[in-house]
Amino acid sequence: GNSDTDRTAEAIRIKPGNADAYHNRGNAYDFLGQYDQAIADYSKVIKLAPTYAFAYLVRSQAHRELGYVVDQFLDGSLACER
């Protein structure tokens, strides 16, 4: 695997409630073009820290990369509400 995703996976294994680790791994997946995995991790961040607006924003961008226009705009709107 990718060393960044491997390191954050280990951090998540040790402390599964760590929103920052999910965010970091989501960023690594995003950088690698693995947008479905990035969305899954950003969704976990939102579940753990629902008022963290930036997680909605980066998930919106990943949705855009996959052509999920409705989800992109929904997350963009939610980011603004936070």
Distances (CA, A) of 35 to 15, 27, 53, 81: 23, 9, 19, 24
pLDDT digits (tens, 9 = 90+) for 18-50: 999 999 999 999 999 999 999 999 999 999 999
Which one is predicted more confidently, 62 or 3?
Answer: 62
Residue with tokens 């820290």: 49
State residue 6's pLDDT score: 81
Measured distance CA(16)–CA(18) in Å, rounded:
6
Q: What is the pTM of this model?
A: 0.88
Contact 59, 37 (CB under 8 A): no
